[in-house]
Amino acid sequence: MTLRWWPSSLRARLTLWFTVVLGVPLVAFAIVSYVVFDRTLLDRTDHFVSDALSAFARELGNERRIAPDNATAARTTVHEVRFRQLQIVIADSAGRLVAASATDDAEARASGIAAYDPARALAAAGRVDPGTPRFVTLAGPGGAYRLHARTVSIAGEPLLLAGISPLHDVEEVLARIRRAFLVAIPLLLAAAAAGGYFMARRSLSPVSAMGARAAAITDANLHERLPVVSPHDELGGLATVINSLLDRLERAFAQQRRFMADASHELRTPTAILATEAQVTLSRPHRTEEEYRESVAVMEGAAARLTRIVDDLFLLARADAGHLVARHRDIYLDEVVHSATRAVRPIAERRGVHVELLPVVDAPFHGDPDLLGRLLLNLLDNAIKFSVGGGHVTVALSRHDHDAPRYEIRVVDDGPGIAPDVQERVFERFFRGDPARGRQEEGASETSGAGLGLAISRRIAEAHGGTLQLMESRPGRTEFRLVLPLAPAP
Q: What is the DSSP string of 272-329?
A: HHHHHHHHHHHH--S--HHHHHHHHHHHHHHHHHHHHHHHHHHHHHHHHTT------E
- Beta 135-140 vs 143-154: how paired, if at all? antiparallel
Q: What is the number of helices (H) and of strands (E) in the chain?
A: 11, 12
pLDDT score recorded for residue 292: 77
Q: What b/e sequence results for 263-285 when a residue is b if at least 16 CB atoms lie within 10 Å of its CB, and e otherwise?
A: beebbebbeebbeebeeebeeee
Q: What is the per-residue burial (b if ≥16 Cβ within 10 Å, else e) of 441-480?
A: ebebbbbbbbbbbbbbbbbbbebbbbebeeeebeeeebbb
Report the relative pairing of strands 467-474 and 392-400 from DSSP bridges. unpaired
Query: Can you tell me the distance from the alpha carbon of 210 to that of 215, in angstroms, rounded to the nearest whole number?
Result: 8
Q: How many CB atoms lie within 10 A of CB 32?
A: 10
Any idea which architecture 324-485 has in CATH?
Answer: 2-Layer Sandwich (3.30)
Closest listed residue to residue 302, CA positions, set 327, 263, 276, 334 = 276
How many other C-beta atoms are found inside a 10 Å radius of the C-beta of residue 240? 14
Q: CA nearest 226: which of 203, 242, 215, 237? A: 242
Chain region(s) in the chain for CATH 1.10.287.130: 234-318
Superfamily of domain 10-175: PAS domain (3.30.450.20)
Fold of 234-318: Helix Hairpins (1.10.287)
Radius of gyration, alpha carbons of the chain: 52
Task: Check residue 338 and give its pLDDT.
Answer: 94
Which own/partner pairs from 215-224 qualify as long-range (CB within 8 Å, at least 24 positions apart)? 217/246, 219/253, 222/246, 222/249, 222/250, 222/253, 223/250
Q: Which among 68, 69, 119 is positioned nearest to 96, based on CA atoms? A: 119
Start-end ranges of CATH 3.30.450.20 in the chain?
10-175
Cα–Cα dist 475/463, whole Å: 32
List, by residue range, all CATH 3.30.565.10 domains of the chain: 324-485
Task: Give the three-class secondary structure for 441.
Answer: coil
Q: By the 8 A CB rule, do 487 and 401 touch?
A: no
Contact 355, 380 (CB under 8 A): yes
Helix (H, G, I), strand (E, B) or coil at 122: helix
- The sheet with strand 406-413 has its strands ordered as 354-357, 392-400, 406-413, 477-485, 467-474
Cβ pair 423, 470 in contact under 8 A: yes
For the chain, which ranges sit under pLDDT 50? 1, 103-104, 110-113, 435-444, 448, 488-490
